[in-house]
Structures are given as structure tokens and as C-alpha cells.
Amino acid sequence: MEKTFYITTPIYYVNDVPHIGHAYTTIACDVLARYKKERGYKVYFLTGTDEHGQKVEKAAQANGETPLELADRVVKRFQSLWEKLNIDNTDFIRTTQERHKKAVEEIFRRIEAKKDIYLGEYEDWYCTPCETFWTEKQLLDGNCPDCGRPTDKLREESYFFRMSKYQDALLEHIEKNPDFIQPRTRRNEILSFIKEGLRDLSISRTTFNWGIPVPGNDKHVIYVWFDALTNYISSLGFPDDPDGNFKDFWPCNVHVIGKDILRFHTVYWPTFLLAAGIPLPEKVFAHGWWTVEGQKMSKSLRNVVEPNMLVDKYGVDAIRYFLLREVPFGLDGDFSHTALVHRINSDLANDHGNLVSRSTAMVNKYFDGVLPQPGADEEVDTELKQIFNNAVATVDQHMNNLAFNKALQAIWELVSAANKYIDDTAPWALAKDDSQKERLGTVMYNLLEAVRLIALYTAPFMPETGAKVLALLGDSEESDVTDVRFDWGGLKPGTKITKSKPLFPRIETE
Ligand code: MSP
């Protein structure tokens, strides 16, 4: 059976334009999706936009447009940014699409049929920016405990989901599946939240219209989180096409999210699914938040980092690399131009770029650009191969743990090993001695093979650079990516090797 992999980003609210935080999640998912493809998996990678709810309705009103006009406008900003960042998603879901509406209605009906939805009355404090209800007790000085902004007292008729009924089943699931919530600290956070006791959840609103009406009672619209979370299955064709993508890809392998929306994904979503009789996702991974030059990113501070501008200035691969290399996925991090420039100059221009230029230049100088046949191995060659062979499992493990920075560290150990191999074998000295021609050929072969493997490893992170390097090595068949390509010895002697231009020009700083 074909190996499959399903990965999702959160769907982004359209009341805000995309910034570096959104780009971060999406790039991380794209990297893992590309990596799994390289490893021979059939991959489904989903992203999209969350277009309903009071927040979007209010933003549209403030702009003098309809919510759908706002959504149509902002969705283009997201889509064009993803294109610019080389995001290779399988589908883009919008919650205003008919296919999504059908899925939301169906899951609502299923839960209602189980008598786990009932009509009641609500009186609580609502934080509109977070689209979340709080009890009086949960408020901090009268404000939202998550974002600190003021809340409004709301009293309304509402449909409730019997979330309390699923408390024990959820706890058991989390305890039996230690990897369900990652990282560890997040898992502990959720475990203690559940142990405090789950209340029934209000899942409809009557105070505004912008949403999917409750089936059979259009005075109510469905709560935006109930609506939004369903995107993960509506994209797969649930409920109309149970034998298609839904069968192949559900349950999802990993929902990647920011730490702020953990509870929705690890308490609400799994209990909805339990009630609807649908299997739970395998894993939810919550990453940290970016600050900018030490400060929280906010419109009022005018320090929102605009990804389009960054790409224009530094190039797409450098940005993708930096975001995943600089900070362990799961921890908070700080974005600074100094740190970015430092990474570009040292890791990319110096270590990786120089390796590729030196290697391709030497084959051209010593063998007219035709890759020689390798001869017998010396100790230094065996060592190099061993380092590369060991990396296959190491990198794979880090990628499966979404430890992108560790995967990159492991890949850069290969870069260092290859650079060291050049110093140790001193090809320029071998070239001066005709009797060493065969030895020089072995060294060149091993070096270029190392460059090929490094290109394969870096390609999910830096697709343009990866493809460029592979093309220098005579590989134009990007589609021919299979697992075996990670085995040592894939380059064919006789291949024409093109001399590389600098991959990453150094950025001059004062
Ligand atoms: N619409 C909901 C998600 C619904 S998923 C079924 C939502 N949207 S959002 O646009 O507000 O946020 C989307 C993601 O961006 C979240 O995962 C959030 O953590 C992430 N980020 C927003 N600002 C961020 C930073 N400053 N840093 C890192 N990620 C941040 O929530």
C-alpha cells in the first residue's frame, strides 16, 4: 500500500493581512510536506482561510464592504504570498465554499442525532478578538485571560455541545497517546486544563449573521471554531466522497498550529470528532511565537514584518531557511535583521555556497566538467560515506519530530564534513601529480556525490536552491524523487557537471 501523509496549517482569518507569523506555520508545513514527498509518500498538504465570524463581519463593516468582499480581497493576499514563498499546497480551503458548508452541516447533524447538541441559554463574557467565551471566574481584572483585551457580557439563546460528556474519553486518549499533543509542555498544559473539568460548549450565536446557519434553525449561526475546525475534513471531500481523499488521508498525520490555538485543536476538535464518530488526528504540534527585534508584533507598534518585503530583499530560500534554523520549533523566537544576515552570510554563502562553487569548479578545472569514475576508497573516503549514511536516519527522526532546527544542524554537519574532506584530501596538490589522477577522480566523485545528497536534504527547506544544485549535477528530473536517492552513489560517472555561480551572494553590513 502506498504510504500517505496528511499535514495541515491553521486556516487564517481574513480580517488581517498575512505577516511573518502566518508565513512561519505555512513554510514549516511546506517543508515537511516536501520532505515526505522526497521520501516517497503520497502527500496531502492543506491550507486555507477562515472567513466567517463576528471578527470578520466587524472588519468588513469598518471597511464599508460585505464580509465576502473583504474575504475575496484578502484571500488573494494569502494566495499570492504562498506562491511567492514557494508553498506547494495540495488544496486551499475557504470556509465560505459550498463544499465546506456541507461538511459543517453534516457534522452538526451527526452530533445532534446523538443528542449531544441541545438548545439552552448563555450568559457569559465574550472576547471578540479571540472569538471565545469566558466565565466570570476566568477573567483577569475583567479582561480576556488570553489577550488582555476587554470582554462583553452576552446573554443569548444558544445551542450547546455536550463536551463534558467526552472529558474522560479525551483524557484517556491523551494519556494513551503520548505523542498526540506536542511539545511535551503543551501536553501537560492541556492535561491540567481538562482535569479542571470540561463545560458544555456554546456552538451557536444569534447576535450576528456572518456564518453557516444551524440546520433547521436559521436564527442561529454555527460558532466560528466549530465551523473552522471542520475544514480539515471538508477539504478531503467529507461527507460526500468517503472513498476518495477522506479514506486515503484521514486521520491526519499532523495539525501544525501556533500555541495560542492549542485548546481549540486538542480539546474542542477531538471531542467534536469523538461525538461524530470520526477517528482523531494522530498529532497536534504547537509552535511558538515570533517577536520582532525583542518586541511583540503589532499594528500599533508598526513593527509587523511583511514577508513580501523580506523575500524581495533577501530571497525566498534564505527566509525559509532562517525561520526554521534560528529557533527550535515549539519555542518562541525573535526576528532580527542582524540574525538573518548573519545566517545568510555564514551558513548559506560561506558554508554551503562555497562548497558548491569549489566542488563544481574543481571538476571543471581537472576533468573538463565530466564526473570521473571513482577508484578504491581510502580511510578518509570511508569516513565521509559513513557520515552521510548515518545522516539518513538522523535527519528522518528530526523531521518526524518536527525538530527542523536539529534536522538543519545535522544537514550542516554534512556540509562541514564535505568542506573538511576538501581540506583533508587537498585536490589542488593531487592535481599537480599525474600519477595521482585516479585518486583525484575518486575525490571529485565523492565530493560531488556529497553535494548531491546535501542538495536533496536542503531541497525541502530551500526548493529553488535545491533544484539549482541538482541541475548543476545534471539532474533536471525533479519528478524522479524517491527514497533510494538518499543512498550513497547515486551520481553517474560521466555526468556533465556545470560550474556554479555563487548561490547566496554575501550581504555587506556596516
Ligand atoms: N482562524 C484561526 C485558526 C483556525 S484553524 C481551524 C486563527 N487564525 S489566525 O490567522 O489568527 O492565526 C493563524 C496562525 O498564525 C496561528 O497558528 C497563530 O499561532 C499564528 N501566528 C499569529 N501570529 C504569530 C506570531 N507572531 N508568531 C508565530 N505565529 C503566529 O487563529
Each of the 510 residues of the chain gets a pLDDT tens digit; together they read 789 999 999 999 998 889 999 999 999 999 999 999 999 999 999 999 999 999 999 999 999 999 999 999 999 999 999 999 999 999 999 999 999 999 999 999 999 999 999 999 988 888 988 888 888 888 998 899 989 999 988 888 999 999 999 999 999 999 999 999 999 999 999 999 999 999 999 999 998 899 999 999 999 999 999 999 999 999 999 999 888 999 999 999 999 999 999 999 999 999 999 999 999 999 999 999 999 988 888 777 777 888 999 999 999 999 999 999 999 999 999 999 999 999 999 999 999 999 999 999 999 999 999 999 999 999 999 999 999 999 999 999 999 999 999 999 999 999 999 999 999 999 999 999 999 999 999 999 999 999 999 999 999 999 999 999 999 998 755 445 455 688 999 999 999 999 999 999 999 876
What number does the ligand 1 atom closest to the CA of 259 have?
A: 19
Nearest CA to ligand 1 atom 25: 21
What number does the ligand 1 atom closest to the CA of 257 have?
A: 17
Residues with CB under 6 A from ligand 1: 10-13, 21-22, 24-25, 50, 228-229, 231, 257-258, 260-261, 289-290, 297
pLDDT, tens digit, 9 for 90 and up, residues 79-111: 999 999 999 999 999 999 999 999 999 999 999
Do 405 and 326 contact (CB within 8 A), yes or no? yes
Using the mean position of ligand 1's atoms as its centre, give its distance from the Cα of residue 18 in Å. 10
Nearest CA to ligand 1 atom 17: 258
Nearest CA to ligand 1 atom 8: 12
Measured CA to CA, the distance from residue 212 to residue 217 in angstroms comes to: 11
Other Cβ atoms within 10 Å of 106 Cβ, number = 18
* pTM assigned to the model: 0.94
Measured CA to CA, the distance from residue 96 to residue 80 in angstroms comes to: 19
Using the mean position of ligand 1's atoms as its centre, give its distance from the Cα of residue 258 in Å. 6
Q: Which one of 17, 74, 261 would you pick to mutate in the ligand 1 pocket, going by the greatest count of ligand atoms within 8 A of its CB?
A: 261
Contacts of 142 (CB under 8 A, 6+ apart): 150, 151
Using the mean position of ligand 1's atoms as its centre, give its distance from the Cα of residue 10 in Å. 7
Using the mean position of ligand 1's atoms as its centre, give its distance from the Cα of residue 257 in Å. 7
Do 64 and 18 contact (CB within 8 A), yes or no? no
Using the mean position of ligand 1's atoms as its centre, give its distance from the Cα of residue 59 in Å. 17
pLDDT, tens digit, 9 for 90 and up, residues 239-272: 998 889 999 999 999 999 999 999 999 999 999 9
Q: Look at phi and psi of residue 390 and say left if phi exceeds 0, alpha if psi is from -120 to 50, else beta.
A: alpha
Using the mean position of ligand 1's atoms as its centre, give its distance from the Cα of residue 256 in Å. 10
Nearest CA to ligand 1 atom 5: 10
Cell numbers that stand for 466 in this block: 535545491
